[in-house]
């Protein structure tokens, strides 16, 4: 078993990386590269870890991390609910067999069509994010003759120690209603005044890739205080507090170990009122460590005294995160063993951008050569879901591995798929 962010079945056997009992050379031969290799056993185990940590609460998997119909079926089997943030994610949830009543619908700018679909499909809860949305949703629910359950998204003014692009709990955010400015209190009044809406809880989310519980507990304390104040003011009971997701993962050696789900739950429960049901929305912490991105080396370009560039057959189209906000990864030579001394290289993609860099300052054997396979761990979250067709590159498949068997749960995109879109 390999540690530091690799799936639990990852092992180095006979000079080759194996995941789920399948060697990477066999996977590359059958499914091609680039490819995301997803350890099904790891995914199920991480779902179970969250379910066990919160048996009397709600665990909503954050679908934006990675979603496909097969994953929806796994979530259903594990007893997890699902959060989505677009009509497209909602459609995938339903296609995978998830009961819409177990879906929470997020988003800061849901369209009228998306809200109408949520109401007509009887989505379990809509997280309202603006005054305009409260008004629209109330009208749609009234028109349909139903009472729609909602949570109010609150920005608690907690700055998570993460990159500014994935920090969402501060005052200056496009998400939610400001606690400090009194907007959250006004949102509570508007929802309670709408006969077609039912206030089932409050929601906050402070950011992503967080490894310190301090931000979670501070947000929980502020949200609990606000919840109790709203209950006193209006003479109601608000039964649920959803603290979102954001728990980090190990992406490379030396990264801090994140708290375990049970530790997070224990920490925030200390500050919650006894009657409040806790909900969480883990995405990355479930999907992230489950997958390995597999690439083939195409060229090795050495600039004496400057750098050595190892170019692979993917790049920013299948992992935009390093270019977007400096996400740091590691990689290993996965298809063979080598006794050559290590040298630092830069692993880059095939796209027409100087910023198309996957891994910087990576020690690889000095004899790395075209045809070698490189494996990048912690690739299960926000890679396939954020993948693009930049330079008209087709998106890779997702291959689930378990007990020595492999199957594509998302097939490789083809050029025919791209051309089909053109008039």
Binding residues for pyridoxal 5'-phosphate: 246, 281-284, 382
One-character DSSP codes across 235-277: T----EEE----B----STTPPPPPPHHHHHHHHHTTS-TTPE
* Token duo for residue 33: 């590269």
Q: Name the residue with tokens 């790395």.
A: 368
Instruction: Provide the annotated binding site for substrate.
Output: 284, 321, 325, 353, 382
Closest CA to 349 of 385, 386, 323: 323
Active site (annotated) includes residue 352? yes
Rounded CA separation 193/277 (Å): 23
Backbone dihedral angles phi then psi of residue 248, each to the nearest 5 degrees: -80, 175
* Token duo for residue 322: 């390093």
Q: 307: which strand partners?
A: 303
Rounded CA separation 7/61 (Å): 19
Please, are residues 329 and 358 in contact by the beta-carbon 8 Å criterion? yes
Please, are residues 387 and 65 in contact by the beta-carbon 8 Å criterion? no
Helix axes 87-95, 69-78, angle to 10 degrees: 70
Distance of CA 413 to the CA centre of its chain: 21
Q: Name the residues annotated as catalytic.
A: 352
């Amino acid at each position: 078993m390999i540690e530091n962010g690799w799936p639990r079945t990852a092992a180095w056997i006979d000079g080759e990386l194996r995941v789920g009992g399948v060697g990477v050379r066999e996977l590359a031969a059958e499914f091609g590269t680039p490819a995301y290799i997803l350890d099904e056993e790891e995914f199920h185990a991480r779902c179970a870890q969250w379910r066990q940590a919160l048996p009397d609460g709600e665990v909503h998997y954050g679908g934006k991390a990675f979603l496909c119909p097969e994953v929806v079926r796994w979530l259903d089997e594990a007893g997890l609910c699902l959060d989505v943030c677009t009509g497209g994610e909602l459609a995938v949830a339903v296609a995978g067999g998830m009961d819409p009543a177990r879906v929470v619908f997020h988003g800061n700018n849901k369209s009228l069509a998306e809200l109408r679909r949520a109401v007509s499909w009887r989505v379990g809860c809509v997280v309202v994010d603006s005054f305009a949305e409260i008004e629209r949703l109330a009208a749609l629910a009234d028109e349909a003759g139903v009472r729609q359950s909602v949570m109010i998204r609150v920005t608690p003014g907690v700055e998570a120690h993460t990159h500014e692009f994935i920090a969402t709990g501060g005052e200056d955010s496009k998400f939610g209603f400001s606690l400090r400015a009194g907007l959250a209190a006004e949102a509570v009044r508007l929802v309670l005044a709408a006969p077609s809406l039912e206030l089932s809880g409050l929601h906050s989310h402070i950011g992503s890739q967080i490894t310190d519980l301090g931000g979670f507990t501070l947000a929980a304390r502020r949200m609990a205080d606000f919840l109790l104040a709203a209950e006193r003011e209006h003479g109601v009971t608000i039964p649920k507090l959803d603290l979102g997701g954001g728990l980090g993962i190990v992406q490379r050696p030396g990264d801090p170990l994140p708290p375990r789900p049970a530790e997070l739950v224990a920490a925030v429960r200390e500050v919650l009122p006894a009657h409040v049901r806790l909900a969480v929305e883990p995405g990355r912490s479930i999907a992230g460590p489950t997958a390995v991105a597999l690439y083939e080396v195409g060229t090795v370009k050495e600039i004496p005294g400057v750098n050595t560039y190892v170019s692979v057959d993917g790049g920013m189209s299948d992992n935009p995160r390093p270019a977007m906000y400096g996400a740091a990864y590691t990689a290993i030579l996965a298809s063979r063993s080598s006794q050559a001394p290590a040298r630092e290289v830069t692993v880059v993609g095939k796209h027409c951008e100087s910023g198309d860099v996957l891994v910087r300052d990576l020690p690889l054997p000095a004899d790395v050569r075209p045809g070698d396979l490189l494996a990048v761990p912690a690739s299960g979250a926000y890679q396939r879901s954020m993948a693009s067709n930049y330079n008209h590159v087709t998106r890779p498949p997702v291959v689930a591995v378990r007990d020595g068997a492999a199957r594509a749960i998302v097939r490789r995109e083809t050029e025919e798929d791209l051309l089909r879109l053109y008039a």
